Chain A
Amino acid sequence: AQTVTQSQPEMSVQEAETVTLSCTYDTSESNYYLFWYKQPPSRQMILVIRQEAYKQQNATENRFSVNFQKAAKSFSLKISDSQLGDTAMYFCAFMIGGAGGTSYGKLTFGQGTILTVHP
């Protein structure tokens, strides 16, 4: 079974500054995907960034980037130039890769980190 751990229940950052959210995971699978989802106060889940485990290059999406350390099973999210609209709960998630099987398409979520951006 896979587990995802987010050890920071809450974080805060000043507008325009940089913040890093931590995530570690445990799995025996070799083919998998990792995600960061954002859930703002509207509670709509929004995909922030995804990473394929077989890719060594860290994924980036504008102000969002990850530090993927496969050997350490670590997958942190860095938010640069934080904006007020980044205030949300952030979830790290894991998915086994490949089609078929009982775990097909299933996401395992971490506990979440509530991020507050202050003006």
Chain B
Amino acid sequence: GAVVSQHPSWVICKSGTSVKIECRSLDFQATTMFWYRQFPKKSLMLMATSNEGSKATYEQGVEKDKFLINHASLTLSTLTVTSAHPEDSSFYICSTSVSTDTQYFGPGTRLTVL
């Protein structure tokens, strides 16, 4: 299957700072990437769909100004959590759509906001 990487795997930051998470497709070009948020022992919640060269599409209830998504190339999408607060602490996962019916997931990023 396709290989997707995320960096960093774990980040700790102070409240009020911004954190950038990178999602890379290593062996294919991804025109579409998805960003999810997951709380412990809970399901994945889709935050936004990232399309290369255009603005991301956010799901209802997701703050666009807090979770900035940029998909500048066919192999890289970034999620920036701006002015992070403890309630933003979570596990963030990206995935890519290789075809219309299969997604491959990155290993996830654990964000802890102190």
Interface residues, chain A, CB within 8 Å of chain B?
Answer: 33, 37, 42-47, 50, 52, 89, 91, 95, 97-99, 102, 104-107, 109-112, 114
Contact = CB atoms under 8 A, between A and B. Distances in A.
B57 interface: yes
B103 A112 contact: no
Given A43-B108, A97-B100, A97-B101, A107 B43 contact: no
Interface of B: 1, 32, 34, 38, 41-44, 46, 49, 57, 91, 93, 95, 97, 100-105, 107-108
Contact of B43 (A33, A50, A112): A112
A65 to B, nearest CB: 19
B43 A47 contact: no
B105 A44 contact: yes
A44 B1 contact: no
16 contacts: A43-B91, A43-B93, A44-B107, A47-B1, A50-B101, A52-B101, A89-B41, A91-B44, A95-B103, A104-B32, A106-B49, A107-B34, A109-B43, A109-B44, A110-B43, A114-B41
A39 to B, nearest CB: 9
Given A47-B1, A95-B101, A97-B100, A102 B41 contact: no
B43 A91 contact: yes
Contacts of B42: 111-112
Nearest to B9: A43
